[in-house]
Amino acid sequence: MLASQEDNHSGRPTIIVRGAEESPVAVRYIEAVLDSTWHALGLAETKIRIAVVIELAQPRNVANRPTPPERAAYLAPDSTDRTTCIALLPAGPYWTRYLLGKREAPDAWFGGFAQWLQAGLGPCAFYAAYGTPGKPVRRWLAARNWDVALFLGSRGIAGERFSSLDLLGDSRYSWYWDQVYSFRPATVACLAGRSSGCRAAVLDGADAASPAAGPQIVRSERRWWRGQRLLPGERYLSDVAREVGRERFQGFWASSLPVDTALAAALKQPIGEWTEQWERRFIAPIRLGAAAPWGATAVALLLGAVAVLAVMLTASRRQVR
């Protein structure tokens, strides 16, 4: 089934729903939700057109058709034409059944379908809001798979208090720390409250070469948060834009200056310091390495002092003789 809605004059995205069953009701519902989301993001008519392709899951009894991977993908402008960004969103069995009216989904579930759809706009939402980024910013984002610009909005990718940090689990358990230390050193240093680490985590990829010629495709990993170089990076540029205002962020986005220069100018503050303060909104600084209990530390210091005193007394007796 192929159902689409196009309205190039309104600036709203084109919607294409693909699947085994025709459902005009589902298409109209998606149109209404996306229209509401579009206005909530402050978007109207845009220079970059957005096409959202929603791939419904195939029924389990259909064995003669390949099943699309349940990972979002984005085709950036300049891949097909200079003014279109395409978002491919596999709905999966859960949302497919919901859209076809075969199950109910409470709106509170990770923000409901509207939140899922807003998060699914990904990099295309940034193209719609701010146009095509300048070459340094485009190279930087491509080098890190857009991990700092996966979500445009003020509430977070799945609600106000939810971020990719929550996906790491509970810090009381060892497997949480196993995940933390699987990230790059700069990422971990930023989590520990070190501004130099935060700066390095943000600017990772800023010196990358231009992407190879051909279609520029951004694919989200199944466990996308594990590939992040900054946590919670999915909302970083969205938060920067909200903090500095549209005009200053637009200046950074379209700048031909190096990323570190352009971003520091937009922030009006060193990148590492601003990012370290931003990080504290989501997590208290973690401790790096093993730390001994205070009691054990006090005993060790006392024993050390006794040992030093004993050595000094012994040395003084030898000198008297």
Give me the residue spans of the domains in the chain: 1-131, 133-307
Q: How do the pLDDT tens digits run along the chain, 321 residues long? A: 444 555 444 567 899 988 767 678 888 889 999 998 898 888 888 889 999 999 988 776 544 454 445 689 999 997 767 789 999 999 988 888 888 887 665 554 445 888 889 989 999 999 999 999 999 999 999 999 999 999 998 766 555 556 777 778 787 888 888 888 889 999 999 999 999 999 999 999 999 887 766 678 898 876 777 889 999 999 999 999 999 999 999 999 999 999 999 999 999 999 999 999 999 988 889 887 654 344 444 544 565 565 556 556 665 555 545
SS3 sequence of 183-252: CCHHHHHHHCCCHHHHHHHHHCCCCCCCCCCCCCEEECCCCHHHHCCCCCHHHHHHHHHHHHCHHHHHHH
Structure pTM? 0.80
Q: Is 58 left (phi over 0), alpha (psi -120 to 50) or beta?
A: beta
Cα–Cα distance measured from residue 235 to residue 233, given in angstroms and rounded to the nearest whole number? 5
User: What's residue 262's pLDDT?
Assistant: 98
Which tokens sit at 311?
């050595």
The confidence score (pLDDT) of residue 121 equals 93
